[in-house]
């Protein structure tokens, strides 16, 4: 059957796919709109499979904190190139992902991707359709949902780095300024854990071995290697765990001391630092 411009436009309105893709899909489907939609979906799946191993180093990080600041969510929606990150369809999808996270309050990325859309498809299926449209790998590379007595957020100006910090023991203290300072510290200093005990055992073991090897290469006696390695490990803790880091704005305080100075008993329950491209 003949495919008219009106038919192509109708399918375009239904799917958001490009005019040529819609015309090809309708032609292949002999004018059957449902079959054409399936063809476009499969096109997205083919592109997704072909580009599955590609790196995604561009995109958007979005943050939402609820009205009473007891819950925060962060989503990182990534693509391959900067131009795609600026396309309206990509940005609208990112906002849709966040709005659905807020509405559903799901705990994990897997639950988020499985959310059913108005057309009965999953959110992941809609992202796959968009992959077919833009021709790049798209991926929600991170999703975090944090609740606490007080949640403070920081979103870097490039919209590719976001931080959530969850505080407990506020005792009514206003944490807006100090909380943002801590969030910005996390953004800049990239702590890998909250405190010493939270560092993965394999990381600790690796740092000890590196410390020993460095000392050995410096010609230190074998009997001294363990002691020297532990000294280097303590330095690692000070640089890489949030509570033991020096406060950027006042090097006389660690973050742990800053919390105690702000409010006795104040603690960080957890933090999340999400970045696209590094």
Mean pLDDT of 99-106: 97
Does the pTM surpass 0.85? The reply is no
Between 156 and 44, name the one with better pLDDT. 156
Each residue's pLDDT tens digit, 214-233: 998 888 888 889 899 999 99
* Res. 86 pLDDT band, cuts 50 70 90: very high
Q: How far apart are CA 271 and CA 184, in angstroms?
A: 12
Handedness of CA 104, 108, 114, 117 (dihedral sign): positive
**pLDDT at residue 235 greater than cutoff 80:** yes
* Res. 37 pLDDT band, cuts 50 70 90: confident
* Poorest-pLDDT segment among 10-19, 68-77, 136-145: 10-19
88, two tokens: 């309206």
DSSP three-state, residue 115: coil
**pLDDT at residue 124 greater than cutoff 80:** yes
| Residue 116 DSSP code | B
Tell me whether residue 210 is exposed, middle or buried, using C-beta atoms within 10 angstroms of its C-beta: 0 to 12, 13 to 18, 19 or more: middle
CATH fit for domain 55-147, picks 3.40.50.300, 3.90.25.10, 3.30.479.20, 3.40.50.850 = 3.30.479.20
* Res. 46 pLDDT band, cuts 50 70 90: low
Q: Nearest-5° angle of CA 91, CA 72, CA 249?
A: 100
The residues spanned by each domain of the chain are 5-50, 55-147
Helix H or strand E encompassing 73: strand 71-79
Each residue's pLDDT tens digit, 141-183: 999 999 999 999 999 999 999 999 999 999 999 999 999 999 9
What CATH number should be reported for the domain whose range is 5-50? 1.10.8.10
């Amino acid at each position: 059957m003949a495919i008219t411009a009106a038919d192509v436009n109708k399918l375009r309105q239904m799917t958001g796919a490009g005019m040529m893709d819609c015309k090809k899909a309708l032609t292949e489907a002999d004018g059957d709109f449902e079959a054409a939609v399936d063809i476009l979906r499969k096109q997205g799946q083919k592109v997704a499979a072909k580009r599955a191993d590609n790196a995604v180093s561009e995109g958007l990080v979005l943050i939402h904190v609820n009205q009473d600041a007891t819950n925060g969510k962060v989503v990182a929606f990534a693509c391959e190139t900067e131009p795609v990150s600026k396309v309206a369809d990509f940005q609208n999808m990112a906002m849709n992902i966040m709005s659905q996270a807020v509405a559903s309050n799901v705990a994990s990325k897997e639950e988020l991707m499985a959310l059913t859309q108005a057309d009965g498809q999953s959110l992941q299926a809609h992202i796959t359709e968009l992959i077919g449209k833009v021709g790049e790998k798209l991926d929600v590379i991170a999703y975090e949902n944090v609740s606490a007595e007080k949640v403070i957020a920081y979103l870097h100006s490039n919209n590719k780095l976001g931080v959530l910090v969850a505080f407990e023991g506020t005792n009514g203290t206003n944490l807006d300024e100090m909380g943002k300072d801590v969030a910005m510290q996390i953004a800049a200093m990239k702590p890998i854990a909250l405190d010493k005990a939270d560092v993965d055992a394999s990381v600790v073991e690796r740092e000890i071995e590196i410390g020993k090897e460095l000392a050995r290469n410096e010609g230190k006696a074998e009997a001294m290697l363990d002691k020297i390695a532990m000294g280097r490990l303590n330095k690692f803790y000070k640089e890489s765990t949030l509570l033991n880091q020096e406060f950027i704005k006042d090097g006389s305080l660690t973050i742990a001391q800053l919390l105690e100075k702000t409010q006795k008993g104040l603690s960080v329950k957890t933090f999340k630092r999400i970045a696209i491209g590094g």
